[in-house]
Structure 1
Amino acid sequence: AGLVLNPQRIVLQDRERSASLDLLNTDDKAGRYQIYFEHKYMKEDGSIVDIENPEQGGPYAGDMIRYSPRRVDIPAGGSQTIRIAARRPKGLAEGEYLSHLVLKQIPQKADANSPATPKNDEDIQLNLAVQPVLKLAIPVIVRKGASTTTASISDIQPIVQNEQVEELHFSLHRQGNFSLYGNVELYEKNGEQLGSRI
């Protein structure tokens, strides 16, 4: 998309107060972006949707974070750092607070094509330019307290086709007070030891 973000998620653990987000414009044109928070959540199927009435919930991570700058112009091949500082309010309950930091592209004025010369006064010349607007969002998580979170796997179902296991279906469960993020890896079993990673 022409914009590389590092990291792609920000987690401020208990007592951590600051972080930074690096933006790299890999496009051959300058990019202008507006930066703001939105409130979203992830459904069980992995899709991320907007919270319809955020004023009825919260607090959210975005409510306790200050960041700068809020609008950036990044030249072609250039970079920009966004500074993030969290201020947890007094009396904040232990737990995890989530918002999404959004970077929305501000379109540059499109270059108009040279208009054709009308043959007569009744001819109408119309120039139309369609320009996509890039919008990226990354999760920002503020935590308070110690983690009690664990993960487990159940309902493992090998899907066999042509006498070979083509797919592996399973349920991944989270227990505890924080969300989890990571990879699931599959290994061969060599007796009671783990073999090579599949």
Structure 2
Amino acid sequence: MNIVPVQFARLAAALFAALLLAPGTASAQVGADLNISPKRVVFDPNGRSASVYVFNQGDAPATYSVALVDRVMLDTGEIIAIDDAQKDPAKAATAAMVKSAKSLITFTPRRVTLAPKTSQLVRLRVLRPGDLAAGEYRTHLTVTAIPPEDTGVTAEQAAAGLQPGEMTVRVVALFSLSIPLIVRHGPEDVRGGVENLAYEIRDMDGPDGGTARKTGFVSLDLTRLGASSLYGDVEIRGGPKNEIIGGMRGIGVYPEIARRRVTLQLQTLPNHGDVLTVNLKDDEARPGAPIATGRLTVP
């Protein structure tokens, strides 16, 4: 279950407007030391319970809210809240394909305060109604840092150095981590493919902005062929020793999309005529097991 947590740090549009207009501004980030483990929870047809750890890795006490939020994956790989997707007609149809697991999962606690370098166990339980249709259901456990009560500016601080009629604004970026909770009901069907491979060379800045260097990139479509979500690691092999020269761990393709476009940077620049092999391997039920393979000849 190696997947980097999805990070959400959003500022309201109203705060951005105030930031542009206010002569006195300050900013702060709350919760950057938050972490969650594991990075994904899958309940198989017999699964009933699981646990997730919330960690405060910082040096000060912190309070977090815990909630279930339905999110949708777009074909770019971006994951956004369904409420946001429904506001965009181009994304609403994809959002409508998501089968929510929110009503199937109970959890506790919903709010935790942690001392520095400590953790809290969040307990999850699945309740399946007798008439639940076969399929894959998903929601996202979202943990958000809550600003301390003293975050912001006092009246004295706000007034200091301001002229009559001026104002000051303090912008606080709330840090959240979100992991998928997947409930599978019925047979698992994990199948995938690697399609539409393409190669290109880009000029990339060297270290510390030095001389640009030629860098190879491989683009490909990860296709979901089964009814279940596809989740795995991509590795690109090439060169005289067929070594790993690129790849990415923990790539998902959820049931609401059939394919996802991915572009990966290569560690070394292959030669003209080299054959690159792209392997997609399972990183869930059968870690390391091959799912699909594609090949590309460098033009």
TM-score normalised to the size of structure 1?
0.82
Q: Residue in 1 aligned with 2:115?
A: 75
Deviations 1:27-49 (A, max 9, x none): 11111111111111101011112
1:150 aligns with 2:197: no
Amino acid at match of 1:107: P
* Structure 2 unmatched ranges of 5 or more: 1-31, 87-91, 204-213, 246-299
Q: Residue in 1 aligned with 2:220?
A: 170
Aligned residues: 190
Amino acid at match of 1:100: H
* Structure 1 unmatched ranges of 5 or more: none
- Aligned to 1:29, the other structure's residue is in SS state coil
Q: Residue in 1 aligned with 2:179?
A: 138
Deviations 1:20-78 (A, max 9, x none): 11111011111111111111110101111222369x88752111111111111111111
More helix by proportion, 1 or 2? 2
What is the distance in 1 between the residues matched to 2:239 and 2:216? 17
What is the distance in 2 between the residues matched to 1:114 and 1:165? 54
Deviations 1:64-121 (A, max 9, x none): 11111111111111110100011111121111001111112221122657947x9xxx
Amino acid at match of 1:13: D
1:186 aligns with 2:227: no
State the 4+ residue runs in structure 1 displaced beyond 6 angstroms.
122-127
Q: Residue in 1 aligned with 2:81?
A: 50
Query: Are the counterparts in 2 of residues 99 and 140 from structure 1 also a CA contact under 8 Å?
Result: yes
Structure 1 vs Structure 2: percent identity of aligned residues? Answer: 29
Query: Are the counterparts in 1 of residues 238 and 244 from structure 2 also a CA contact under 8 Å?
Result: yes
1:14-25 to structure 2, matched below 5 A, reads 14-25=45-56
- Aligned to 1:134, the other structure's residue is in SS state strand
Deviations 1:128-151 (A, max 9, x none): 544322222211110012222211
Please point out which of 34, 42, 46 is paired with 1:11: 42
Amino acid at match of 1:158: Y
Amino acid at match of 1:67: F
Query: Are the counterparts in 1 of residues 72 and 82 from structure 2 also a CA contact under 8 Å?
Result: yes
Q: Cα offset for 1:165?
A: 6.8
What is the distance in 2 between the residues matched to 1:172 and 1:181? 10
Distance 1:45 1:59, change over 3 A: closer
What is the distance in 2 between the residues matched to 1:125 and 1:161? 48
What is the distance in 1 between the residues matched to 2:74 and 2:81? 11
Distance 1:125 1:99, change over 3 A: same
Query: Are the counterparts in 2 of residues 25 and 74 from structure 1 also a CA contact under 8 Å?
Result: yes
1:65-104 to structure 2, matched below 5 A, reads 65-104=105-144
- Aligned to 1:197, the other structure's residue is in SS state strand
Amino acid at match of 1:18: S
- Aligned to 1:49, the other structure's residue is in SS state strand
